[in-house]
């Protein structure tokens, strides 16, 4: 089975902290994605990557950055955490090709609370 692992299930951080969310997949997938999920707003795409060292902005990139130094790892960085970034963060991956060719495999999610 494809496995997408997110390093933390729950995180509590203080306003202004720099926060790193890690995602690792073990199936040699080229495409990786970061979403946040909020009640009533659904899943919103923050950033995605189709290859190592490559990144593209999604719909809500403000306040976030990403890093993909290795194919299997895609990190989401909150440069200066704010309370409006309290959310469930989901990482997903797919093999090379159009996202519609495959369904996403999601990680287990990280519930981040910024206080």
Partner 1 sequence: QKEVEQNSGPLSVPEGAIASLNCTYSDRGSQSFFWYRQYSGKSPELIMFIYSNGDKEDGRFTAQLNKASQYVSLLIRDSQPSDSATYLCAVALNQFYFGTGTSLTVIP
Residues that bind partner 1 (CB under 8 A): 33, 40-43, 45, 48, 58, 90, 98-101, 103-109, 111
CA distances from 59 to 10, 46, 72, 112 (A): 24, 6, 23, 19
Min dist CB 108 to partner 1, Å, is 5
Nearer to partner 1, 14 or 100 (CB): 100
Min dist CB 7 to partner 1, Å, is 14
The answer to whether 112 and 19 are in contact (CB under 8 A) is: yes
Min dist CB 44 to partner 1, Å, is 8
Nearer to partner 1, 17 or 26 (CB): 26
CA distances from 35 to 6, 61, 67, 76 (A): 12, 10, 15, 10
Min dist CB 31 to partner 1, Å, is 10
Nearer to partner 1, 40 or 84 (CB): 40
Nearer to partner 1, 95 or 99 (CB): 99
> Which residues are within 8 A (CB) of 23 and not within 5 positions of it... i.e. 6 or more apart?
4, 5, 6, 7, 32, 34, 73, 74, 75, 76, 91, 93, 107
């Amino acid at each position: 089975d494809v496995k997408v692992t997110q390093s933390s299930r729950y995180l509590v951080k203080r306003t202004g902290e720099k926060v790193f969310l890690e995602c690792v997949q073990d199936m040699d997938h080229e495409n990786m994605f970061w979403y946040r999920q909020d009640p009533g707003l659904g899943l919103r795409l923050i950033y995605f990557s189709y290859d190592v060292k490559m990144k593209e902005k999604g719909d809500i990139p403000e306040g976030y950055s990403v890093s993909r130094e290795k194919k299997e790892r895609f990190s989401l960085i909150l440069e200066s955490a704010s309370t409006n970034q309290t959310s469930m963060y989901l990482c997903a991956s797919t093999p090379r090709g159009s996202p519609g060719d495959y369904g996403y495999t999601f990680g287990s999610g990280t519930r981040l609370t910024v206080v």
